[in-house]
Amino acid sequence: MGKHFNQALENYLAFLEIERGLSSGTVEGYNQDLSLLGKFLSSEIFSGENWTLEDIKGSHLRSFLQYAYRKRKNKTAALNRKIAAISGFFQFICREPEYSLEENPALNLSRRKEEKKLPQYLTLEEAGKLLQTIKKKSWFPERDYAIFALFLQTGCRLSELAGLEINQLYLEEGYVLFRGKGAKERTVPLAESTKIALREWLALRKPSTETSRVFLNRYGKPMGKRGIQTNLKKFLKQAGLNRPGLSVHKLRHTCFTLLLQSGVNIKTLKEIAGHTSISTTEIYTHITGEEIVENMKKHPLLREDAIKYRSFPGNRGYLGKRRNKGR
């Protein structure tokens, strides 16, 4: 790549990670996009490595985006991520005196308009059917019921649930502490039925290695994201809900859709979701913890006439004599 480009990229990624506090996944995505830009400039624009940051023009950046669209078949969302990465990168460079870049070549780049798609989600009846299917069909019903009840009640992310540790559960106090994108923390109230499900699972939890992760696989080791995704696909099929587009992330959509339909205000919903944009952060300042607790009680899955939680019979050891199939 060109002179100083690699060093500038490393500095920018460090800025995103340390000062902006962005998640490792977001930082890696920006790294891939900007590294691809550097390679494109060397091979297609300057025919070699002998170029500098000052040589880059807006037309070169548009040629790169055209390449991403035509040759790499990037859709609107991928193109917009590249535009965001490029714009942020050059804003950073222009602020840093060591690069002496007087003009920002990305200044006039505009994001493409994205088509708004309605998110896939389960209805209240479908969510109840999924949970009941898990209780009847899962090889490890206590664990899997607790996992998917937690998804549907709190709207947590897959990474948040897979990484959940025991010290993040405050069952007596009635809430869970999630560590979301950029290591940001938030607390979400737990329904009584979800607390019971978690206690049922914790009573059976028997790790085979030293770990504080809440959810373990059949070998007693921390359960990975892929295992959770595989199990959901299996349970959806068993419940007759295996339609295209449903995934673990759609359980997050399900939670927020059901809450919104039940009258929870959008401000509280964004707090529960853990969104991190500046605009959503500003409105969080008007929301108290009591408002969140009261609004969470409106979750339709928590009504008395909705899904009632029944304890599982017996007190079987997780790795004891029980069914030995499944994840």
Helix, strand, or coil here: 185? strand
| 249 catalytic per annotation | yes
List the catalytic residue out of 135, 213, 267, 275: 275
| 299 catalytic per annotation | no
Helix, strand, or coil here: 14? helix
Q: Are 299 and 262 in contact (CB under 8 A)?
A: yes
Helix, strand, or coil here: 305? coil
Q: CA angle, 254 as apex, 249 and 255 as ends, to 5°?
A: 100
| 323 catalytic per annotation | no
List the catalytic residue out of 136, 284, 297, 322: 284
Calpha distance 78→32 (Å, rounded):
12
| 181 catalytic per annotation | yes
Q: CA angle, 275 as apex, 11 and 216 as ends, to 5°?
A: 90
List the catalytic residue out of 60, 184, 249, 316: 249
Angle between helices 225-238 and 141-154 (to 10 degrees): 90
List the catalytic residue out of 157, 205, 234, 250: 157
Continuous H helices in the chain: 5-14, 24-40, 58-70, 76-95, 124-137, 141-154, 158-162, 192-204, 225-238, 248-261, 266-273, 278-284, 289-296
Calpha distance 48→205 (Å, rounded):
58
Tell the residue number behind the tokens 């009591």, with chain if given: 290
Give, in order, the Cα–Cα distances in Å from 275 to each of 29, 229, 262. Answer: 19, 22, 20
Measured over the CA atoms of residue 191, residue 193, residue 199 and residue 201, the dihedral's sign is negative
List the catalytic residue out of 3, 4, 62, 181: 181
Calpha distance 206→189 (Å, rounded):
26
Give, in order, the Cα–Cα distances in Å from 233 to each of 29, 106, 248. Answer: 26, 42, 9
Task: Tell me the β-bridge partners of 176.
Answer: 169, 188
List the catalytic residue out of 82, 129, 143, 252: 252
Calpha distance 47→210 (Å, rounded):
53
Return the active site residues. Answer: 157, 181, 249, 252, 275, 284
